[in-house]
Amino acid sequence: MNKIISMAIASAIAISSCTSAVKTDEKPLLWLSSGEPAVEAEVIVDTTLDLHPDGFIIRDTPEGRCIMAKTETGALYGMYALDRMERTGQAEGELDILEEPSYDRRILNHWDNLDNTVERGYAGHSIWHWGEEVPVELITRYARLNASIGINGSVLNNVNATPEMLRRDYLERTAKIADIMRPYGIHVYLAVNFSSPAALGGLETSDPLDPQVRQWWADKAAEIYSLIPDFGGFLVKANSEGLPGPQDFGRTHADGANMLADVLKPYDGIVMWRAFVYSPQSPDRASQACDEFASLDGQFRDNVLIQIKNGPVDFQPREPFSPLFGRMSKTAMMVEFQITQEYLGFSNHLVYLPTLFKECLDSDTYSNGEGSTVEAITTGRTYPEAYKTTAVAGVANIGRDANWCGHEFAQSSWYGFGRMAWDTSLTSEEIAREWLQQTFSTDEEFVKPVLDMMLTSREAVVDYMMPLGLHHIFAWDHHYGPEPWCEIEGARPDWLPKYYHKADENGVGFDRTRRGSGNVNQYNEPLASTYDNIATCPENLLLWFHHVPWTYEMSNGRTLWEEMCHRYDAGVQKVREYQSIWNAAKPYVDAERWEAVRAKLEIQESDARWWRDACVQYFGEFSGMPVPKEIEQPERPLDQLKKIKLDLKHHN
């Protein structure tokens, strides 16, 4: 025991000395009161412990409280955990806790470009400061925040990757970033462009079966690992939205992914190969990932993970889970969530996302009978042989803004993603509560109502934007605000709202039943039949799966048309409730942050009205029915709302 304790003290010193070099007077440390976990406990690192390398034990012994872990990273996680427990009043009494992460790899995907813009970023330019001096303090703070919630991987660059990313100078800089993050247990990964051998290396082709191409990638991997020995691996978007991929050479996704997996294998690197593929010719975009990937099950190397967006289309306010999660049993899969609010009002709307994340993870795919939830599948419980490693990804909402995420409450979705990736059994409520307690106040008078606001906020945004399974009726390209009427000459049909809502005088919604696109059949029974039957399809996904008559009777007795209008209005009313809650929260929050949130809620309320007024009037032209009298009537006529054109780019 003594021997272990003396080892422990040494490593505890090592850990605290590597975390103490940063001044704390710059960007705020958000939910951390200060960078260092200030806990009173003995820290023991014992490499012989039978524990996940990231796991830890916190235990009270007659000699006092101690944290035990197999690695320094595990010890650091234990220290942050105890720190959190102390600050949220959970550290009293005798402790005997053992924690191991739900996923091995808990990764943020940054869609950051080398010119420092961030695709779908709403919080300022890239924190990596490409081309400028490496911001050591900023990156250290970022690493601390991540370590405190268990995030252990960062893909530094946009999945729309430029071949330049693999240039020597960018790799050297990536190595510097990796050096800063290493003490916090964070591995760096890069998104790569499949054409790099030709575009950067000057080869004639990037065909994955060409020996010279394979050699080029092998040399590149050797170069990367010589600079970054613990490099995590590659993330690849291929044959998607105009990006190159193996299909350009008549090869499959498996050929492409395996070629990269082979060159990373000697270094324990992984390939995260995205399943976000769709072509304009397809009658149903929601079916395409399964169409292209399900038949490849079993053909991928064991260091490949298929990275699948939570829903089958694209991070909409509500989607069913992607049916692909229920279709592969011999291939490792990982979920990609979007923390940045591309389709949820950018950083202007208060939307706490762990409720959305959990809804997906808790969905039962019935892949191997009942209980094969997305969580059980992707954590490797359902098909352990297929999962050499497990992972989960979240598209980051982080930028150079003073508050990191643009909206004070957007920090809670970053926090929540990390906590949930660490422990999928935590509830959204538990996560929101501890975030509020650490970020603002532990006073229940404050916590209770604000917690309620967070927990209902995702449903509110669904109501005022796209209730009952409506989806993708956003304004062109930038996706801020409503434009269900949008028509652009020559545009891809699957980039236009009418492809998705299909409103006409008979009704509204996308018929994905067996009489329509047949997408329901990609789900395992009993789900396929549940979704196929309008009477059993959950109402919150009704217009996702069915084209429904305006006069269809909903379970509460209203017609579809009435219910749609009621939902739109309920979303607006909810935001007004949030405004009252926040007004009452004033005594518990410092003036600056209180005012920032107040101002954002004002925008959100006005945007919610904009959404409601635009959608009920637009769809009313098809239903031929008036907005029910009992709800607030639209203020501005549709013509006026149609004239709103925002000059926004999809890079910040």
Mind telling me the catalytic residues?
A: 241, 314, 342
Size of the site for ligand GCW (CB under 6 A): 12
Residue closer to ligand GCW by CB (options 342, 375) is: 342
Choose the binding region for ligand GCW from 153-161, 179-187, 412-420, 462-470 (rule: CB under 6 A). 153-161
Residue closer to ligand GCW by CB (options 241, 595) is: 241
Q: How far out from the chain centre does Cα 16 lie?
A: 31
Report d(CA 25, CA 28) in Å as an integer. 8
How does strand 548-549 pair with strand 233-236?
unpaired
What letter would DSSP give residue 232? -
CB of 520 to ligand GCW, least distance (A): 23
CB of 307 to ligand GCW, least distance (A): 10
By residue count, the chain amounts to: 652
CB of 339 to ligand GCW, least distance (A): 13
CB 207 within 8 A of CB 249: yes
Residue closer to ligand GCW by CB (options 35, 484) is: 484
CB 597 within 8 A of CB 582: yes
Choose the binding region for ligand GCW from 158-166, 249-257, 507-515, 572-580 (rule: CB under 6 A). 158-166
Sequence-distant (≥ 6) Cβ neighbours of residue 554 within 8 angstroms: 539, 560, 563
What letter would DSSP give residue 117? -
CB 41 within 8 A of CB 86: no
> Of these, 27, 59, 84, 120, which contacts ligand GCW (CB under 6 A)?
120
Strand partners, 474: 482
Choose the binding region for ligand GCW from 156-164, 204-212, 278-286, 299-307 (rule: CB under 6 A). 156-164
Residue 314 lies near ligand GCW (rule: CB under 6 A)? yes
> Of these, 80, 111, 278, 357, which contacts ligand GCW (CB under 6 A)?
111
Residue 650 lies near ligand GCW (rule: CB under 6 A)? yes
Residue 651 lies near ligand GCW (rule: CB under 6 A)? no
Residue 337 lies near ligand GCW (rule: CB under 6 A)? no
CB of 518 to ligand GCW, least distance (A): 24
> Of these, 160, 247, 282, 573, which contacts ligand GCW (CB under 6 A)?
160
Residue closer to ligand GCW by CB (options 119, 408) is: 119
Closest listed residue to residue 2, CA positions, set 48, 30, 42, 34: 42
Alpha helices in 265-370 (DSSP H): 288-293, 354-361
Q: Is 623 helix (H, G, I), strand (E, B) or coil?
A: helix
> Of these, 119, 563, 569, 607, which contacts ligand GCW (CB under 6 A)?
119
CB of 439 to ligand GCW, least distance (A): 29
CB of 154 to ligand GCW, least distance (A): 16
What phi, psi does 396 have (nearest 5°)? -65, 150
Residue closer to ligand GCW by CB (options 342, 532) is: 342
Q: Is 165 helix (H, G, I), strand (E, B) or coil?
A: helix
Closest listed residue to residue 186, CA positions, set 19, 305, 34, 316: 19
Q: Is 28 helix (H, G, I), strand (E, B) or coil?
A: coil
Residue 117 lies near ligand GCW (rule: CB under 6 A)? no
Choose the binding region for ligand GCW from 90-98, 155-163, 169-177, 397-405 (rule: CB under 6 A). 155-163
Residue 84 lies near ligand GCW (rule: CB under 6 A)? no
How does strand 391-395 pair with strand 332-338?
parallel
Residue closer to ligand GCW by CB (options 319, 342) is: 342
Residue closer to ligand GCW by CB (options 239, 424) is: 239
Residue 237 lies near ligand GCW (rule: CB under 6 A)? yes
Helix (H) / strand (E) element for 501: namely helix 497-501
What letter would DSSP give residue 426? S
Residue closer to ligand GCW by CB (options 140, 158) is: 158
Q: Which residue is nearest to ligand GCW, using beta carbons?
A: 314
CA distances from 42 to 9, 16, 65, 101, 295 (A): 7, 13, 6, 22, 52
Residue 159 lies near ligand GCW (rule: CB under 6 A)? yes
Report d(CA 218, CA 221) in Å as an integer. 5
Residue 483 lies near ligand GCW (rule: CB under 6 A)? no
What letter would DSSP give residue 164? G
Closest listed residue to residue 55, CA positions, set 70, 65, 40, 37: 70
CB of 253 to ligand GCW, least distance (A): 15
Chain residues that interact with ligand GCW, rule: CB under 6 A? 111, 119-120, 158-160, 237, 241, 276, 314, 342, 650
